[in-house]
């Protein structure tokens, strides 16, 4: 394809950003140069400028460059994301207060789930906390299972390819297919936390007006020794499902 205009420096910078997006643990300058078929001298100034502009982080110990969260922060200013957050955050505040457990919103990006919003319960000082911008795996994770289960077949394959490339993890496809079938049938995921011994995660999908899954709302619970601090899981599931239905309805209406 013939280009009407060219901007070699810009193209070089975007190549670096796109490459680093596939390697969350980062790459050295030599690795970046080799993968882009360029020399260190050609890329050193470009990578340095990206670092100065806060698009790239540098770890002196391993001489590794990796993407910062700046692109994620910029993506949150995009209209659809803003609309979703504007609609979801008030509902999430009510939900976390009702259930006395934190809830968080997860969207898909480049082979991972990304936590885009988090609300803690004001009535529970002993609860799990999550950082906005944190990456979650697609496999053996509540939000990841929901994102995969309600994606189209082609989208799911693309998501799994991206996940496998970045995590360098073998996938048990037979086990995953059974899990996806179960999640699709019941309409949500409910599973023990893969991290905490007494944790339990429940997640429901949020859909756009064209029935595409755009996010997952998850509640993470802990089991406490004091019985009064525990909330019935069936009650949590009902409240979570109701909240997701409200967000989906409002978001679909906002798109029309």
Residues 45, 19: Cα–Cα separation, whole Å: 17
Q: Compute CA 168 distance to the chain's CA centroid, rounded to the nearest angstrom.
A: 18
User: For 16-25, 61-70, 228-237, which range has the lowest pLDDT when averaged over its residues?
Assistant: 228-237
pLDDT above 90 as % of the chain = 44
Q: Which residue has the higher pLDDT, 148 or 73?
A: 148
pLDDT value at position 215?
94
| Mean pLDDT on 220-240 | 78
- Under the banding of pLDDT at 50, 70 and 90, the label for residue 38 is very high
165-206: per-residue pLDDT in tens? 877 777 888 999 999 999 999 999 999 887 776 788 999 999
- Tell me what pLDDT residue 176 has: 92
Domain boundaries for CATH 3.30.450.40 within the chain: 73-255
The CATH code that applies to domain 8-68 is 1.10.10.10
Per-residue pLDDT reduced to its tens digit, 110-145 = 888 999 888 877 665 555 677 888 889 999 999 999
Picking from 42, 71, 41, 43, the residue whose alpha carbon sits closest to that of residue 55 is 71
Domain 73-255 fold is: Beta-Lactamase (3.30.450)
Q: Which contacts (CB < 8 Å, 24+ apart) does range 106-109 have?
A: 106/136, 106/143, 106/147, 106/203, 106/215, 106/216, 106/217, 106/218, 107/81, 107/214, 107/215, 107/216, 108/147, 108/151, 108/159, 109/72, 109/75
Q: How many helices (H) and strands (E) does the chain have?
A: 9, 8
Q: Where in the chain is the domain with CATH 1.10.10.10?
A: 8-68
Structure confidence at residue 86 (pLDDT): 86
């Amino acid at each position: 394809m013939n280009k009407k205009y060219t901007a070699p420096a810009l193209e070089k910078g975007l190549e670096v950003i796109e490459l680093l997006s596939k390697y969350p643990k980062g790459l050295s300058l030599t690795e970046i140069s080799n993968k882009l078929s360029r020399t260190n001298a050609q890329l050193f100034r470009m990578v340095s400028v990206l670092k100065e502009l806060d698009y790239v982080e540098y770890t002196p110990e391993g001489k590794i460059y990796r993407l910062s969260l700046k692109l994620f922060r910029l993506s949150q200013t995009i209209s659809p994301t803003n609309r979703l957050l504007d609609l979801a955050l008030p509902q999430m505040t009510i939900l976390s207060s009702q259930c006395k457990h934190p809830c968080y919103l997860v969207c898909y990006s480049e082979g991972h789930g990304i936590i885009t919003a988090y609300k803690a319960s004001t009535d529970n000082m002993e609860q799990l906390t999550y950082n906005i911008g944190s990456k979650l795996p697609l496999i053996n994770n509540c939000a990841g299972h929901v994102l995969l289960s309600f994606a189209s077949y082609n989208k799911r394959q693309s998501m799994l390819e991206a996940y496998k490339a970045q995590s360098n993890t073998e996938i048990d496809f037979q086990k995953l297919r059974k899990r996806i079938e179960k999640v699709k049938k019941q309409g949500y995921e409910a599973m023990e936390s893969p991290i905490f011994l007494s944790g339990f995660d429940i997640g429901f999908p949020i859909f756009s007006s064209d029935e595409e899954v755009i996010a997952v709302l998850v509640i993470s619970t802990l089991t406490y020794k004091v019985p009064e601090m525990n909330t019935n899981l069936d009650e949590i599931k009902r409240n979570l499902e109701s909240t997701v239905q409200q967000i989906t309805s409002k978001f679909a209406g906002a798109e029309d």
